[in-house]
């Protein structure tokens, strides 16, 4: 028995109630009638150091119940613009075999794409971006906005080519990304080798190291991203370790001297107008989190990413 009509809408009920879907969106068991699908990828088999990102989708779903429907800064109301639903997790039935796990993730995303859905994903470690890109960039290479402390264009590491430090190298090699339309922002931390990110530079990707970001500021960095990526479809990948560990301690490879949460919000809002057809937010590791700081930041940044995708979806 429901007395209040508005209680029929899960997003209007008290935010602490009900089952935790991403941003209290509708839980969709079928892929029909969905424009933007919110997806969890509970997989961290590509991590080279501290694990735990497999627990992120559940934790971000929980914290994302705090998210409301209207973006205060841009006035975008993504749930009004598009049919947004939580379409569950990309199941991995063989999670301890990295390459076949990636094949399973790719197969899931191919079904999502075939249903006409634009996916916004929560990993998982950063290795999951590669199988997602294999599905979403199958038809043509995409532009890339990649926000991270690391370029993730490394090479083989201890016998693996597909660990979380290499997805964007593999994606360029496989023709999934147009490196001339790719920008990487927030790069910092000590190197194992002075030429660690040589691939990014050789391929022609625009690399904005943290020192340059600090000088230019978030708004100007967004302008640079729009200049580099330009017209055409693009993928947005946000590694939570781009944030300073003060704002996101719950991650596997923390690097001091990073973005504030506010800078990340301003940076993302500055990307309005880009044709972002798919996105992911990765590397949240709840076992290393403190009081949910990281999961809360992730949920809020996911909302900013959803706003970008919703505007792009109705523009196209
Ligand atoms: Mn990364
Ligand atoms: Mn990183």
- pLDDT at residue 159, rounded to an integer: 93
Give the distance (Å) from ligand 2 centre to CA of residue 23.
25
Give the distance (Å) from ligand 1 centre to CA of residue 286.
16
Question: Residue 316: pLDDT above 80?
Answer: no
- pLDDT at residue 2, rounded to an integer: 65
| 184-193 confidence digits (pLDDT tens) | 999 999 999 9
Question: Residue 1: pLDDT above 70?
Answer: no
Instruction: Kindly state the greatest CA–CA separation across the chain.
Output: 66
| 106-131 confidence digits (pLDDT tens) | 999 999 999 999 999 999 999 999 99
Q: Which residues contact 297 (CB under 8 A, 6 or more apart)?
A: 240, 243, 247, 248, 261, 264
Give the distance (Å) from ligand 1 centre to CA of residue 250.
14
Runs of H (alpha helix) within 1-139: 56-63, 78-81, 98-114, 129-136
* DSSP character at residue 117: P
Q: Which ligand is closest to the CA of 146, given by its number?
A: 1
Give the distance (Å) from ligand 1 centre to CA of residue 152.
6
Q: Which ligand is closest to the CA of 188, given by its number?
A: 2
| Rounded average pLDDT over 42-60 | 97
Cis peptide before 40, with omega less than 30 degrees from 0? no
Q: Which ligand is closest to the CA of 186, given by its number?
A: 2
Give the distance (Å) from ligand 1 centre to CA of residue 239.
5
Q: Which ligand is closest to the CA of 129, given by its number?
A: 1
Give the distance (Å) from ligand 2 centre to CA of residue 282.
9
CATH architecture of 5-315: 3-Layer(aba) Sandwich (3.40)
Q: Give which of 146, 189, 194, 142 is closest to 166, Cα–Cα.
A: 146
Concatenating the DSSP letter of every residue in 143-155 gives EEEEE-SS-----
| Rounded average pLDDT over 138-150 | 98
- pLDDT at residue 234, rounded to an integer: 98
* DSSP character at residue 36: E
Give the distance (Å) from ligand 2 centre to CA of residue 82.
31
**Residues whose CB is under 5 A from ligand 1 (ion)?**
126, 148, 152, 239
Give the distance (Å) from ligand 1 centre to CA of residue 5.
44
Lowest mean pLDDT among 16-20, 81-85, 200-204, 286-290: 16-20
Give the distance (Å) from ligand 2 centre to CA of residue 302.
17
How far is the CA of 181 from the CAs of 25, 87, 149, 205, in angstroms? Answer: 32, 30, 19, 7
Runs of H (alpha helix) within 195-260: 198-203, 210-229
DSSP helix, strand, coil percent of the chain (3-state; round to 5):
40, 20, 40
Give the distance (Å) from ligand 1 centre to CA of residue 150.
6
- pLDDT at residue 5, rounded to an integer: 81
| Rounded average pLDDT over 146-163 | 96
Give the distance (Å) from ligand 1 centre to CA of residue 15.
31
What's the mean pLDDT when you consider all of the chain? 97
Domain map (residue ranges) of the chain: 5-315
- pLDDT at residue 3, rounded to an integer: 77
How far is the CA of 20 from the CAs of 28, 62, 122, 169, 262, in angstroms? Answer: 13, 5, 14, 35, 25
Evaluate if pTM is beyond 0.85: yes
Give the distance (Å) from ligand 2 centre to CA of residue 129.
12
CA distance 297 to 294: 5
CA distance 41 to 51: 14
Q: Which residues contact 153 (CB under 8 A, 6 or more apart)?
A: 166, 168, 169, 172, 197, 199, 200, 203, 205
Give the distance (Å) from ligand 1 centre to CA of residue 126.
5
Give the distance (Å) from ligand 2 centre to CA of residue 56.
15
Give the distance (Å) from ligand 1 centre to CA of residue 148.
6
Give the distance (Å) from ligand 1 centre to CA of residue 47.
10
Count of beta carbons in the 10 Å neighbourhood of residue 269: 18
């Amino acid at each position: 028995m429901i007395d209040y009509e508005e209680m029929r809408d899960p997003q209007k009920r008290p935010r602490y109630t009900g089952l935790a879907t991403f941003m209290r969106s509708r839980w969709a068991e079928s892929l029909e009638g969905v424009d933007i699908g919110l997806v969890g990828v509970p997989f961290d088999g590509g991590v080279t150091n501290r694990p735990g990102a497999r627990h992120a989708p559940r934790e971000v779903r929980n914290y994302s119940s705090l998210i409301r429907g209207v973006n205060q800064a841009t006035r975008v109301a993504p749930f009004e613009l598009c049919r947004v639903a939580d379409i569950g997790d990309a199941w991995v039935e063989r999670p301890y075999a990295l390459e076949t796990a990636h094949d399973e993730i790719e197969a899931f995303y191919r079904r999502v794409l075939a249903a006409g859905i634009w996916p916004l994903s929560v990993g998982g470690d950063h290795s999951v971006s590669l199988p997602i890109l294999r599905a979403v960039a199958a038809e043509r290479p995409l532009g890339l906005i990649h926000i991270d402390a690391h370029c993730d264009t490394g090479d083989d590491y201890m016998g693996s080519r597909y660990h979380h430090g290499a997805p964007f190298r593999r994606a360029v090699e496989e023709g999934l990304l147009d490196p001339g339309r790719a920008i990487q922002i927030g790069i910092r931390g000590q190197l194992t080798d002075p030429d660690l990110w040589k691939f990014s530079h050789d391929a022609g990707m625009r690399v904005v190291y943290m020192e340059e970001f600090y000088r230019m500021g978030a708004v100007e960095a967004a302008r640079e991203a729009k200049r580099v990526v330009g017209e055409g479809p693009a993928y947005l990948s946000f590694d939570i370790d781009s944030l300073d560990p003060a704002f996101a301690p719950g991650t596997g490879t923390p690097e001091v001297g990073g973005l504030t949460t506010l800078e990340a919000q301003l940076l993302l809002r500055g990307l309005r107008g880009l044709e972002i057809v798919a996105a992911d937010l990765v590397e949240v590791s709840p076992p290393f989190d403190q009081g949910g700081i990281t999961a809360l930041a992730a949920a809020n940044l996911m909302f900013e990413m959803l706003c970008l995708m919703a505007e792009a979806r109705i523009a196209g």
